[in-house]
Structure 1
Amino acid sequence: MAEARDTLTDLKTAVRAADDKGATAPVALNVAEQFGFADAFLIVSGSVERNVQAISDGIERALNEAGARTVRREGREGGRWVLLDFGDIMVHVFHEEEREFYQLERLWHDAPVIDVAAMLEVANS
């Protein structure tokens, strides 16, 4: 990843913010080699529309406070699939049903997985 330290720091911030809002099944992928517009994807799930909105709001707030600028936001009003673009990181907050339907992890199966569990362990210890 181009700016690994900054990207990983922002990714940790996003993972922790998502966890604080009750996100489930976080998966982070290093897409730098396959996708020219970002270094990493973070994919998380929410159980209902309001939860998806709260998770996306929490991630955006945390990253903005850390100095990351939101480049683009799509889908918040519907609460089914919110895309947050922070340049090096793209965050996909899915309603559980949409996540199962679109299966981004399967589409990007050749991208290396980034260990989010370790990011959460440090935060929860």
Structure 2
Amino acid sequence: MSAKKASAKGDKVESKVSLYHAWCKRCGNCVAFCPRKVLESDEWGYPYQAQPERCIACGLCEKLCPDFAITVGKPTDGEKEKKNAPSPGTPGSNVSPNHSPERLAPMAADGEENGA
């Protein structure tokens, strides 16, 4: 179902808006241009989803972000089931506890040294 069809029918569009505050320079583009006023700025100027149920997943905030600090997409089945997944770094988890968007440098594989 497209965002236009859902908004015309009044149905809820399930979307995933991810905000990476480490990349955000608090320009306010996403807050100012959101057509449904989903985003607001917190006391430090960082955006947050004040009314996530109003989001139509148009992607305008993502397109206007100069720092790529926002991504918009539909959650996959795996992401919907993440609530039952083990936490990063626990046995059974395939995500390193050091996994984050802020970490851009590749990590050495087990048994290898970082030769710099």
**Structure with the largest fraction of strand:** 1
In the superposition, the TM-score normalised over structure 2's length comes to 0.29
In the superposition, the TM-score normalised over structure 1's length comes to 0.27
The higher-RCO structure (CA 8 Å, 6+ apart) is 1
Instruction: State the structure with more CA Rg.
Output: 2
